[in-house]
């Protein structure tokens, strides 16, 4: 058991003081009783009662206080909660060619908007991760059910030189294999969605990425952004950056994914429609203060009931 507010546990230090105060009070009462030498008179003034009863209500009261103090510190138990392990990785091209404005407002902005819309509309059962790739590929949001974190990570993307489509696939596969403690031996059902204008200019080849995806049984669906007429201005020079749909289509077809030329939400539902489920577990700390407060209430009622039954008064 852990405590969500351990700084409140100092109150437990008051319990020995309460116990000492009660013992002192009982000692003073016994000394007062000894002063009476006339036992007949003493029995009339204070009729004899079973000694142990007077301590029961006090003991119950102290237990109640202890439980309430523990509850005040907000104890938490570690519990295993089932969750679906099905995972979708979204890989977004951030190469300089994505600056082209042949897809308004630009390929890059259109890709980001499509990725965020896709993530936002994913069914709640899916985990989602995000990879950004240019000259290399980086995991910018680990797979999780946190949609807000995934979408926020997309807003942090910046453009860079070169395009490493193969590395994007390998990085996505690694994120899937690292999803949880069991993923390396029992990877979750998964799918990669790759948004790009299609040219692989550095890193491992697309064919290597295809082989790795097929070996991992993870389909890659691609979304092509761009036209044959795209251009970008780099260091004062205008460069033609036509979209390479063939590369993206080959990657999708060879891995049993789907290839798209436009980010249509209705079509993209096909990406996750056939992904299976795989239940795993995650450990959560759940507040169990109510449990202790409920037991404390039972002891409070017992203390009050005992005092009323034996002494006709509340403690």
The model's pLDDT over 206-261, given as tens digits with 9 standing for 90+, comes to 999 999 999 999 999 999 998 888 999 988 889 999 899 999 999 999 999 988 88
In 3-state terms the chain splits into helix, strand, coil percentages (rounded to 5) of 45, 20, 30
Tokens for 119, please give them.
């993530």
Which residues, at least 6 apart from 178, have a Cβ–Cβ distance to it below 8 Å?
142, 184
Contact 302, 63 (CB under 8 A): no
Helix (H/G/I), strand (E/B), else coil: 195? strand
The stretch 70-90 carries a mean pLDDT of 75
pLDDT tens digit sequence for 35-74: 545 555 545 555 555 566 666 767 777 787 777 777 777 7
* Distance from the first to the final alpha carbon of the chain: 32
pLDDT tens digit sequence for 122-154: 888 889 999 999 999 999 999 999 999 999 999
279 — pLDDT class (breaks 50, 70, 90):
very low
CA–CA separation, 95 vs 134, rounded Å? 5
Tokens for 176, please give them.
């899937």
Chain centroid offset of residue 23 CA: 49
CATH fold group of domain 84-279: Rossmann fold (3.40.50)
CA–CA separation, 136 vs 155, rounded Å? 18
Strand ranges in 48-169 using DSSP code E only, listed in sequence order: 75-84, 87-93, 127-133, 137-144
Contact 166, 159 (CB under 8 A): no
Percentage of the chain exceeding pLDDT 70: 70
Q: Is 235 left (phi over 0), alpha (psi -120 to 50) or beta?
A: left
Please tell me the predicted confidence (pLDDT) of residue 183. 86
Listed by start position, the domains of the chain span 2-77+288-311, 84-279
pLDDT surpasses 80 at 305: no
Helix (H/G/I), strand (E/B), else coil: 108? helix
What letter does residue 295 receive in the DSSP assignment? Answer: H
231 — phi, psi (to 5°)? Answer: -140, 155
CA–CA separation, 36 vs 74, rounded Å? 50
């Amino acid at each position: 058991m852990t405590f969500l507010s351990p700084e409140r546990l100092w109150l437990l230090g008051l319990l020995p003081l309460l116990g000492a105060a009660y013992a002192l009070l009982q000692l003073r009462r016994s000394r007062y009783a000894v002063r009476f030498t006339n036992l007949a008179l003493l029995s009339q003034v204070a009729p004899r009662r079973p000694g142990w009863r007077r301590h029961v209500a006090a003991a119950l009261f102290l237990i109640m206080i202890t439980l309430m103090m523990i509850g005040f510190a907000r104890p938490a138990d570690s519990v295993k909660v089932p969750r679906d392990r099905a995972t979708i990785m979204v890989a977004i091209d951030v190469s300089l060619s994505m600056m082209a404005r042949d897809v308004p407002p630009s390929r890059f902005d259109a890709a980001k908007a499509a990725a965020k819309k896709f993530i936002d509309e994913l069914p709640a059962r899916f985990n989602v991760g995000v990879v950004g790739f240019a000259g290399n590929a980086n995991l910018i949001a680990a797979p999780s059910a946190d949609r807000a974190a995934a979408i926020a990570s997309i807003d942090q993307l910046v453009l860079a030189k070169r395009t490493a489509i193969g590395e994007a696939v390998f990085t996505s596969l690694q994120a899937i294999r690292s999803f949880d403690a069991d993923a390396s031996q029992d990877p979750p059902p998964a799918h990669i969605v790759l948004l790009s204008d299609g040219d692989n200019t550095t890193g491992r080849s697309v064919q290597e990425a295809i082989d790795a995806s097929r070996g991992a049984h993870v389909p890659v669906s691609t979304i092509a952004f761009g036209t044959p007429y795209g251009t970008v201005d780099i260091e004062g020079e205008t460069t033609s950056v036509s979209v390479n749909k063939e590369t993206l289509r080959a990657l999708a077809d060879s891995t049993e994914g789907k290839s798209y030329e436009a980010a249509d939400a209705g079509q993209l539902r096909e990406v996750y429609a056939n992904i299976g489920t795989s239940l795993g577990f995650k450990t959560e700390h759940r507040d169990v203060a109510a449990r202790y407060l409920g037991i404390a209430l039972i002891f409070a009622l017992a203390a009050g009931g005992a005092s009323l039954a034996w002494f006709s008064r509340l403690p």
